[in-house]
Amino acid sequence: MLTGTAPLRVQMENISKAFGAIKSLDRVNLVLRAGEVLGLVGDNGAGKSTLSKVLSGATVPDEGRIVLDGKEVKFASPADARRQRVEMVYQDLALCDTVDVAGNLLLGREPLRRVLGVPLMDRRKMHADAKEMLGHLGIRMPSTRLKVENLSGGQRQSIAIGRAVSFDPLILIMDEPTAALAVAEVDAVLALIKAVSAKGVSVILITHRLQDLFVVCDRIMVLYEGRNVAERLIGETSIEEIVNLIVGRKFQSVSAGAMSAKAP
Amino acid sequence: MTPAAPEIARGRRASEWRHRAKMFAHDSGGVVSIAVFFLAMVVLFSLITDTFLTQTNLLNILRQIAPLMIVAVAMTFVITTGGIDLSVGSVLALVNALAAISLQAGLPWPIVVVLMLLVGVALGLLNGFFVAREGIPAFIVTLAGLSAIRGFALYLTKGYSIPIDPASPFNEIGRGWVFGIPLPAIIAVVVFIAGYVVFNETTFGRYVTGVGANAEAVRRSGVNIQRVVVAVYALSGLSAALAGLIIAARLGSGSSNAGVGFELEVIAAVVLGGTSLFGGRGTLVGTLLGALTVAVIGNGLILCHLSPFLTPIVEGVIILVAIWLNFRIFRTGRRAA
């Protein structure tokens, strides 16, 4: 595992953010190494989303600093974060259903060709580029001409991840990429996450599906009511321990126990 | 390579083609259905009247359809963004009246044409500003426009029809012939082709579809979606002004009563063609067929000597049936859940 040896890519230090009287984040720290997959877990309202939004520039923290590759950065908007090569795949995926796969992958940066001086979309290049982008990550797609509305949930997720990766990010944040997917599709998306991190991209994975963490993550960080409560290397923990850390007490989870081979 | 490789490749190519065929059927279901409906109307009116399928009548339809066709092209853009423009009939009337007034005041006709087109763009920009920048629903903004802009026309003309000098070359815009085809029809064809290329082949057209499908996704891609929306309403205003000029030239007069109910006819043509009122799904070929269908129904019913008091009822029923068929049988115009 890369953890512990690869250079630090991100250090978030003492990040605090309050929404009115509610302290969503209270002096939270996060470190992420190059090529590492970090699982970010916690109960609803623990601050996972807020923390990821701070890193993606969607939320400006009240306090704290972010150090990216040794340099302090300030993100006032998602555009700032994107400029520093931080990409986020949102849960709603941000795809245009009635536009085809290639069009979605290249939305906003379509290759052009000039016909009689008029700039038109270069469809052939779009489909070729799209095929290459997908092939690069091993994403299988029947055709780049399919409209996104005709794809399965897993395929849509793959398109969203593929698009984010095509911006050549240093850090990719994924919010619940495997929620509401069929079993085989979860495996495909997890394999995709592995492929992304193998390219040296640092990944933050937010998920409620704890078993997924043990497939792809190098390390798990647990938030509880806006505070760091624990960090575990994946080889040194179990689902039961993570469940207990998430809920903040010893908890006999029927659902988590059923997933684990060594139920108590 | 194993000997089987070419066969696998062929299999892949075949599946790619099957996909394309399936996609075509899925994407074009609405267009096919309106094409069938259009042909049915043509056959029907050819059978029940002697005059429908004559050269004179067909050219007449072409000339009459031009304003509808021109505005329907722009309206396809507007509706595909998820918007609507109810003010086109009123913009048409204002331009119609203003053109006659300025010609009467002695302005040279080319200047009048340019000025009137600019008036249309300006009114469209105004609509676009309130829709895109201020976030007021397009229905409300353009409904206000529908009332206020025709009000302007009424105020300027005091309700009178203003004649245009019959000798003015301006009238050729509505009455001229080029190679045996009415000039308005040629203008409409040019507008259609330009619209088709912009809609399907340019990034602007792509963003128009994208804004209707998921505006947030387009915005996150770094596209200035407000500019896209404003531009769409400006185009709509421009097209309505062009239609106003053609009608003024054809009738040789300007009136504040021009184009009453025109916006509904345009919207009917666009929706008949299979463009979704929810946005994200537009087709200009469908709009062409929709506009032709609306025009053929109007023309055919007159040739049938149907009472003019019954015509609107029959028109409305036919349009509803066509759209119902489109929804139920061809399952288009619906959004996937």
Per-residue pLDDT reduced to its tens digit, A161-181: 888 888 889 999 998 888 878
pLDDT in tens, A81-133: 888 999 988 877 789 999 999 999 999 889 999 998 899 999 999 999 999 98
Distance from CA of B290 to the nearest CA of A (A): 21
DSSP 3-state of A79? helix
Contacts of residue B336 in chain A, CB cutoff 8 Å?
97, 149-150
Judged against a pLDDT cut of 50, whether residue A262 lies above it is answered with no
Q: What is the pLDDT of residue B220?
A: 82
Q: What is the pLDDT of residue A263?
A: 41
- HEC sequence for chain B: CCCCHHHHHHHHHHHHHHHHHHHHHHHHHHHHHHHHHHHHHHHHHHHHCCCCCCHHHHHHHHHHHHHHHHHHHHHHHHHHCCCCCCCHHHHHHHHHHHHHHHHHCCCCHHHHHHHHHHHHHHHHHHHHHHHHHCCCCHHHHHHHHHHHHHHHHHHHHCCCCEECCCCCHHHHHHHCEECCEEHHHHHHHHHHHHHHHHHHHCHHHHHHHHHHHHHHHHHHCCCCHHHHHHHHHHHHHHHHHHHHHHHHHHHCEECCCCCCCHHHHHHHHHHHCCCCCCCCCCCHHHHHHHHHHHHHHHHHHHHCCCCCCCHHHHHHHHHHHHHHHHHHCCCCCCCCC
Distance from CA of A263 to the nearest CA of B (A): 40
What number of residues does chain B have?
A: 337
Complex ipTM > 0.85: no
Output the pTM of the full model: 0.84
Would B11 be classed as within a structural domain? no
Judged against a pLDDT cut of 70, whether residue A4 lies above it is answered with no
What does the longest C-alpha to C-alpha distance in chain B come to? 84
- Measured CA to CA, the distance from residue B261 to residue B266 in angstroms comes to 9
The CA-atom distances, in angstroms, between A102 and each of A85, A160, A164, B26, B208 are: 22, 12, 14, 18, 16
* Domain around B46: 29-328
* A45 near B CB under 8 A: no
**Type of residue numbered B51:** T
Q: What is the pLDDT of residue A237?
A: 86
Band (pLDDT 50/70/90 cuts) for residue A153 is confident
Q: How many CA atoms lie within 13 A of B240 on its CB side?
A: 38
* A99 near B CB under 8 A: yes
Residue A179 near residue A147, CB atoms below 8 Å: no
Q: Match 């021109």 to its residue by tokens.
A: B70
Best probe of the A interface among B17, B218, B220, B225, by most A CBs < 10 A, is B220
Contacts of residue A95 in chain B, CB cutoff 8 Å?
214, 217
Chain B residues with a Cβ under 8 Å from any Cβ in chain A: 15-16, 19-20, 23, 26-27, 197, 201-203, 206, 209-210, 212-214, 216-218, 220-223, 280-281, 335-336
**Type of residue numbered B190:** V
Residue B272 near residue B319, CB atoms below 8 Å: yes
Band (pLDDT 50/70/90 cuts) for residue A186 is confident
Average pLDDT over residues A17-26: 88
DSSP 3-state of A233? strand
pLDDT in tens, A26-50: 899 999 998 899 999 988 888 888 8
Q: What is the pLDDT of residue B317?
A: 87
CATH number at residue B61: 1.10.3470
Percent above pLDDT 90 for chain A: 32
Closest CA to B280 of B20, B21, B130, B78: B78
- HEC sequence for B147-169: HHHHHHHHHHHCCCCEECCCCCH
Judged against a pLDDT cut of 80, whether residue A255 lies above it is answered with no
Q: What is the DSSP letter of A185?
A: H
Band (pLDDT 50/70/90 cuts) for residue A246 is confident
Residue A170 near residue A9, CB atoms below 8 Å: yes
Q: What is the pLDDT of residue B336?
A: 39
Contacts of residue A150 in chain B, CB cutoff 8 Å?
23, 26, 336
- Its sign, for the CA torsion A248, A252, A254, A260, is positive
Domain boundaries, chain A: 8-95+165-239
Distance from CA of A127 to the nearest CA of B (A): 13
Q: Residue B162 corresponds to which tokens in the numbers above?
A: 């203003």
Nearest CA in chain A to B283: A98
Contacts of residue B278 in chain A, CB cutoff 8 Å?
none
Pick the CATH number of A8-95+165-239 from 3.40.50.720, 3.30.470.10, 3.40.50.300, 3.40.1080.10: 3.40.50.300
Distance from CA of B221 to the nearest CA of A (A): 5
Record: contact A120-B201, CB cut-off 8 A: yes
Q: What is the pLDDT of residue B88?
A: 96
Count the domains in chain B: 1
Q: Give, for all 337 residues of chain B, the pLDDT tens digit.
A: 444 555 555 666 666 676 666 666 656 667 888 888 899 999 999 999 888 889 889 998 988 899 999 999 999 999 999 999 999 999 999 999 999 999 999 899 999 999 999 999 999 999 999 999 999 999 999 999 999 999 999 999 998 899 998 888 899 898 888 888 899 999 999 999 999 999 999 999 999 999 999 998 898 888 899 999 999 999 999 999 999 999 999 999 999 889 888 999 999 999 989 898 888 999 999 999 999 998 998 899 888 888 888 888 887 888 788 778 767 655 554 443 3
Would B7 be classed as within a structural domain? no
Q: What is the pLDDT of residue B315?
A: 79
Contacts of residue B23 in chain A, CB cutoff 8 Å?
143, 145-147, 150
Q: What is the pLDDT of residue A252?
A: 61
Record: contact A97-B213, CB cut-off 8 A: yes
Out of A121, A143, A150, the one facing B202 most closely (by C-beta) is A121
